[in-house]
Amino acid sequence: MMKRWPVVTRLLPLLAGLALLLSACGREDLSALRPQGPVAREQFGLMQLSISIMVIVVVVVFALAIYVLIRFRRRKGDDTIPVQVEGNHKLEIIWTVIPLMLLVVLGVPTIQSVFGLAKDYSQDENAIQVKVTAHQYWWEFEYPQYGITTAQDLVIPEGKIISIEAQTADVIHSFWIPSLAGKIDTNPAGNVNRMFFQADRTGVFLGKCAELCGPSHANMDFKVKAVDEASFQRWTTAMAAPAVLPEDPAVAELLASQCLTCHAIGDQGISLYPDLTGIGSRESVAGILVNVPEGEAEYTNEGTVYENLKRWLTDTEAVKPGNQMGQMDLTEEEIDALASYLAEQKLEY
Amino acid sequence: MAHGHTVKRYTGIMDWITTVDHKKIGILYLIAGGFFFLIGGLEAILIRIQLWQPMNDFLSADMYNQVLTMHGTTMIFLAAMPILFALMNAIVPLQIGARDVAFPFLNSLGFWTFLFGGLLLNISWFAGGAPNAGWTSYVPLASPVYSDTHGVDFYVIGLQISGIGTLIGGINFLVTIINMRAPGMSFMRMPMFTWSIFVTSALILFAFPALTVGLAALMFDRLFSANFFNPEMGGNAVLWEHIFWIFGHPEVYILILPAFGIISEVIATFSRKRLFGYSSMVFATVLIGFLGFMVWAHHMFTTGLGPVANALFSIATMLIAVPTGIKIFNWIFTMWGGSITFNSANLYAIGFVPTFVMGGVTGVMLAAAPADYQYHDTYFVVAHFHYVIVGGLVLGIFAGLHYWWPKMFGKMLNETLGKITFWTFYIGFHLTFFVQHFLGLMGMPRRIYQYLDGLGFNQMNLISTIGALLMGIGSILFVVNIIVTSRSKEKLGADPWGDGRTLEWTIPSPPPEYNFLQTPLVRGFDALWKEKMDGNKTVTPAEPVGPIHMPSPSILPFFMSVGLFIGGFGFMYHQYIIGGVGLLITFTCMILRSLYDDHGYHIEVEELEKGVKA
């Protein structure tokens, strides 16, 4: 028995190293292995615990298997018949009981966490309430406390509990921000799911749809933008401000006939499809065309807001196959005018 | 009177269409399952080609969804299960000392319904688009509103028809194993593979009706505007998830338990040692089968069932690790003190053990519900289930095929090629799926047709694609091996490995159509090995040589399945006359079968002495 302990002490640094490796995996704003808030951190803690236990199991089994395979390989010309062992009660009890104990070690924190993460903040006045409605292939965020609705960018104050009420307008989607919290499905017909999360710091975090929802499932990204409390208040005010329509009456007419029949900007238009208020200061166009400052585009899906809007309006199907907007019948000049106007719809916060 | 009547013996293709011989049906299952395995593999390669680089445009978004749906559906229903049925058919009756299965006619019907169901499903590629809602076909995505091609109709009707085959196959093997064991073969003397098939068949009996009901309801929703799963009309979308996984979770045990059985046989044989802890292995198998029905909602942790359900299903799922662990250690201790040969069959079996452990431990990790909120529907899950299904089941199937090939076909698969195949496939497998764990944890959802650049997914996806190509090469090498082997002229004896332990190694390879000239007397576990150790050459017969009763071949199962195929097609396109004609064919065959008494025929002693060709 004494001999086993050095093995354990030798394993510990290995485990620590593995944990370190895991914690350095992936992008800070996207990876479940680099949690940026208490919920994701708790889930990551459970992962680390389970991975550690499982690494021990794997190491023991592998070591045993390798030893057995080398020690008991058939040598050339060896024709002896091994002893036919029926079994061994002591051993069999050992490998029944030890796994059971390991499961207790994992099971207790699992149950605690299941109930802890099921806490309902929907009546908590200090929490920010957000109604998430998933659509093929975009996200609608309604803030009932502020009477505002936005799309694609979920703006939140840092360090506050965000209480989510999730549902879908069509098929099942799943709301997931890996670096902040695990996912929750959006079910149809008023079958509402709740979850909560919190961001430790300001910054932009990547969110994704995690349930197959049609051709553009892969493109159904969104962003969570954590800002400081004061900025958040400014943002809610700016969102509620009336829309500034284009000065050029031709463009205003175009906007009214081509965009505002489905979309809303401030107090104008109707909100059937993504709300466009402040679209110029969003992180992306259509979820996957990432907005970057002029000249900083690194990848094919990046560009300035204006470029991305133009790209979207020119060929929506190429950006998001199967989207419900379809192809607008617009000339190049019209696209240009709309893109310029929309790109200027920036909110100060 | 010993003579029933003279029976028409068919040759050539008619022989294969009319056969009710379990060994030939096994070969048919193997050919059809192998064919679908190659199609499913091709689909896998297409998926990996699409994902080898960010924002690739090799496949369109919708085409990708069709390919991923068909890859999953084909591999589970049309490749893995039929190949398991191939081994079940070829081996189980031999292992229990039976001359055939309990219901040879149903056995043939099971094969033909599976084949025509599978063909119907695959015809969708040429009929306006394959199903595209994933192998789970979650509604509302799979409802007529959001999936307006005929794709999901093909899924619903194709699987329904092939599911009939699986269900009657399961019932057939339950009855066979309960009733047709040779004298002395008590339950606790049954070989481990037979035990695993027994439990698997019980799982099929209880799990497949759930799928049948679910598919029927979805069929009504799609074809006749019913509203079982339509929330707007009072239906329930989450209900489908429950029904699907009440079937779907036992299904994964239906797949893996036979592999456990195969591994138990192969490791024991090539370690020249009795299976360690046989009784606890049996107990563990039954327990896994039982617990398999208690854990379906762990596929639904993020559905929003609430903390009580999530906690209970977490713990129930973790419990499965215990019997599985028992099995792993029993295999290792079977080898302990043994004399281990490293031939291709055993390489697959040995390779199975650590691979399956890796798949198993990620399974326990997934069982922790709060952590699963992160893993769910990501590449972590993809990695996990490919570790258990490919690393578990497929390696098990390859082990079983190498091990029993000489029994089924009378020829040994080429060892050199076999080893090359193993290493290509095995290294390819780990390359493909190991990195996917990390992709999932780093934020890559599953079932996405493209990923953006700059997210840190590029390298691992490239590695994964290279691995998949290696697996493809491995599969092709296996086909080459079969072709090379089929050309060899070698003749093998009853026990070509020399270390056979169970009854199938007491009869010629391949066995004659009646299997056992005389029903054997079983005197203990590992019947043949016991006789060898007692100094006997082979098992003692339990009866004198006499006329052997055989079932008659029949073309009816073939036409019954053709009828269902035509009927399914007709109803899908609302051509009720065609649909009716199809059903009429099936019903006519059923009436013929019911009214026309066929008592089979006897092979007489004189004929037996001459030696009947298999």
Q: Is the peptide bond before B140 cis (omega within 30 degrees of 0)?
A: yes
Write out chain B residues lying below 8 Å of A221, CB-based.
452
Q: What is the dihedral of CA B45, B51, B56, B57, to 10 degrees?
A: 40
Record the tokens describing residue A285, joined without a space.
Answer: 């166009």
Q: Does domain A128-232 fall into CATH 3.30.70.270? A: no
**A64/B332 touch (CB, cutoff 8 Å), yes or no:** yes
Our count of domains for chain B comes to: 1
Domain with B606 in it: 12-554+598-610
The tens digit of pLDDT for each residue in B309-345 reads 999 999 999 999 999 999 999 999 999 999 999 999 9
Asked if B237 and A172 come within 8 Å (Cβ–Cβ), the reply is yes
CA–CA dist B24, B489 (Å, integer): 20
Compute the CA torsion angle B329, B331, B336, B338 (nearest 10 deg).
Answer: 170
Inter-chain contact A189–B237, Cβ cutoff 8 Å?
A: yes
Whether A245 contacts A153, CB under 8 Å: no
Please check whether residue B570 lies inside any domain of the structure. Answer: no
Burial (CB count within 10 angstroms: exposed 0-12, middle 13-18, buried 19+), residue B577: exposed
For chain B, what is the mean pLDDT?
95
pLDDT band at A79, cuts 50/70/90?
confident
Q: What is the C-alpha radius of gyration for chain A, rounded to an integer number of angstroms?
A: 27
Q: How far apart are CA A251 and CA A301, in angstroms?
A: 27
User: Residue B490's pLDDT is what?
Assistant: 85
pLDDT in tens, B24-35: 999 999 999 999
| Residue A58 to residue B357, Cβ atoms within 8 A | yes
Determine, yes or no, domain membership for B3: no
Categorize the per-residue pLDDT at A202 as very low, low, confident or very high, splitting at 50, 70 and 90.
very high
Per DSSP, the three-state class of B437 is helix
Compute the residue count for chain B. Answer: 614
Handedness of CA A181, A185, A187, A193 (dihedral sign): negative
β-strands A173-177, A181-186: how paired? antiparallel
**Rounded average pLDDT over A79-94:** 92
Q: Which of B238, B321, B342 sits opposite A99 (nearest CB)?
A: B321
Structure confidence at residue B73 as a pLDDT band (50, 70, 90): very high
- Do the chains contact at A214 and B362, CB–CB below 8 Å? no
| pLDDT at residue A145 in the model | 96
Residue B336 lies in a domain: yes
A128-232 and A249-343: same fold?
Answer: yes
pLDDT tops 60 at residue A22: no
Q: What is the pLDDT of residue A190?
A: 82
In this structure, the strands spanning A222-227 and A153-157 are parallel
Judge contact between B192 and B96, C-beta under 8 A. no
pLDDT score at B10: 83
The C-alpha torsion from B327 through B41 and B22 to B164, rounded to 10°, is 90
Query: In whole angstroms, what is the distance from residue B158 CA to residue B97 CA?
Result: 35
Share of chain B above pLDDT 90, in %: 93
Tell me if residue A224 falls in helix, strand or coil.
strand
CA distance B433 to B391: 10
**Closest by CA position to B141, among listed B254, B241, B51, B22:** B241
Give pLDDT, residue A134: 97
Residue B569 domain flag? no
Report d(CA B520, CA B543) in Å as an integer: 8
At B1 the pLDDT is: 39
pLDDT value at position A2?
44
| Burial class of residue B283 in the structure, from the number of CB atoms within 10 Å of its CB (0-12 exposed, 13-18 middle, 19+ buried) | middle
- CA-based torsion, B501, B507, B508, B510: positive or negative: negative
Residue contact B311–A96, C-beta within 8 A: no
Average pLDDT over residues A152-166: 97
Answer whether residue B592 is part of any domain: no
Predicted TM-score (pTM) above 0.90:
yes
pLDDT digits (tens, 9 = 90+) for A89-103: 999 999 999 999 999
Rounded-to-integer distance, Cα A222 and Cα A219, Å: 9
A4-73+84-117 carries CATH number 1.10.287.90: yes
Residue B192, H or E segment: helix B192-224
Contact A60, A117 (CB under 8 A): no
Considering only CB atoms, B453 lies closest to which of A62, A301, A321, namely A301
Boundaries of every domain in chain A: 4-73+84-117, 128-232, 249-343
- Residue A217 to residue B450, Cβ atoms within 8 A: no
Interface size between A and B, measured as CB pairs under 8 A: 302
User: What band does B569 get if pLDDT is binned at 50, 70 and 90?
Assistant: very high
How big is the CA angle at B41 (ends B37 and B46), to the nearest 5 degrees?
Answer: 150
Pairing of strands B601-603, B548-550: antiparallel
The answer to whether residue A18 neighbours chain B at the CB level (below 8 Å) is no
In a domain, B565, yes or no: no
pLDDT digits (tens, 9 = 90+) for B422-469: 999 999 999 999 999 999 999 999 999 999 999 999 999 999 999 999
Residue recorded with tokens 């040994």: B412
Q: What is the ipTM for the molecules in this complex? A: 0.92
Residue entry with tokens 């149950």: A111
Q: Looking at residue B274, which CATH number applies to its domain?
A: 1.20.210.10
Burial class of residue B393, CB neighbours in 10 A (0-12, 13-18, 19+)? buried
Of B317, B149, B338, B176, nearest to B249 by C-alpha is B317
Q: What is the pLDDT of residues B501-556, one digit of tens each?
A: 999 999 999 999 999 999 999 999 999 999 999 999 889 999 999 999 999 999 99
Structurally, at CATH architecture level, domain A249-343 sits in: Sandwich (2.60)
Is the Cβ pair A81, B272 closer than 8 Å?
A: yes
Using CB atoms, pick whichever of B62, B443, B456 lies closest to residue A208. B443
Is B326 a member of any domain?
A: yes
Partners of residue B278 in chain A, C-beta under 8 Å:
86-87
Handedness of CA B129, B133, B137, B141 (dihedral sign): negative
Provide the token pair at B37.
Answer: 């395995």
Interface mutation vs chain B, best among A171, A195, A196, A315, most B CBs within 10 Å:
A171
Separation CA B19–CA B11 (nearest Å): 10
d(CA B331, CA B326): 9
A8: pLDDT strictly greater than 60 = no
Q: Is A283 on the interface with B (CB under 8 A)?
A: no
A205-264 residues touching B, CB cutoff 8 A? 206, 208-219, 221
Tell me the pLDDT of chain A averaged across its residues.
Answer: 92
pLDDT at res. A7: 54
pLDDT (tens digit per residue) in B144-167: 999 989 999 999 999 999 999 999
A335 to chain B, closest Cα gap in Å: 25
Q: What does the pLDDT read at residue A1?
A: 41
Which of residues A349 and B581 earns the better pLDDT score? B581
